[in-house]
Amino acid sequence: MTWAAAHIHSASDARRLAKKRLPWMIFDYIDGSAGEETGAKRNRAALDAATLRPRILQNVSERSLSTTLFGKPSQRPFGIAPMGMCNLSGVGADLMLARLAAKYQVPHGVSTVASTPMEKIIEVADGHAWFQLYFSGDGAGTFKLVERAKAAGYETLVLTADVPEVGRRPRELRHGFKMPFRIGPKQFIDFALHPHWSLSALFAGKPQMANFDMDGYEFDRTESRARADWDTLKRLRDAWDGNLVVKGVLDVDDAVSLRNAGVDAVQVSSHGARQLESAPSPFSLLPAMRAALGPDYPIFFDSGLRSGEDALKALHAGADYVFFGRALQFAIAAGGEAGLAKLWDVFSDELSIAMAQTGLTKLPCAESVASQITLP
């Protein structure tokens, strides 16, 4: 284990160490949120304000963190959220995440704008990968990616629906963050002051949006995605015979409509508060989502998670499964693959200990959530 990995005892440790190692532009791209970032603070405030019900004198000596996901076993109730350009956090980050997914049988969300081709990631993940899809332009390129994902063996497609336009993230804009990289004097100085990252990136080659690094595929990160509508969803449902998840759902009526349209699961998410600064906390919406969708419909959750205890809160609030994002990138930036493994163990330990403190030997189910958590 590396020195940095040994010093990761929480998500905040990973973030602190990553901040020292990453160029300012890269750190702020990963860490930043929309506007003045009050949305990110709101996400954390909602999770922090929720309390769990401690129990005593329960035999909790044998606890299981395993669950099922679309009928298949998963060794943890948390997976890896789709994140674009993960190799910015460290050379080979995409495949580190893929190996972790394979080891624990958890889904690795593979972004449309991943740094590694979708075919390679699902191979390394031993099939434990979901392809995340952005609608873009007139949709022609979008549906080409759908067919490509199908051919690669993906069984679950995640449509991210909360980016009709890319949110304004001032920290990115101040640094002039663009893909592909455009290196000016400011960026040159930034990279020069962070030689460990810069030399690694130099030898590996600058990260690219790998799914578009071939003839016939193009993607503009800033292009409008505003044409996507319910007819688009119907076309996608007709074209995809695997599991279909819609991510970025923050309205109960939308969630019910998605279920009625044949979507297999919804992911309650604010895109890590990177889109609409004034969006509500996704965590605060989980009970209403569960009440509207019933006990059996799959509800996933991300945005603001920083610990295994947070994960347990979300499961009690109504989620079936949750996804960690930024924190995993910070662990890679801090300590490479060893840092990622260490933070994953931290999350697992935090969850297991919180289960013991609250009298649980197995993960909560939808029928048992209400009495175990107090929400603000």
Residues catalogued as catalytic: 271
Asked if 66 and 73 touch (Cβ cutoff 8 Å), the reply is yes
Q: What is the 3-state secondary structure (H, E, C) of 307-324?
A: CHHHHHHHHHHCCCEEEE
195-204 helix and 185-192 helix, angle to the nearest 10 degrees = 110
Residue 291 structure tokens: 């009440």
213 three-class SS: coil
Write 369-372 long-range contacts (CB < 8 A, 24+). Answer: 369/287, 369/290, 369/315, 369/316, 369/317, 369/318, 370/287, 371/53, 372/52, 372/53, 372/316
Backbone angles phi, psi at 245, to 5 degrees: -115, 140
Q: How far is CA 65 from CA 103, 129, 186, 189, 195, in A?
A: 14, 20, 46, 46, 40
Helices (H) and strands (E) in the chain, counts: 15, 12
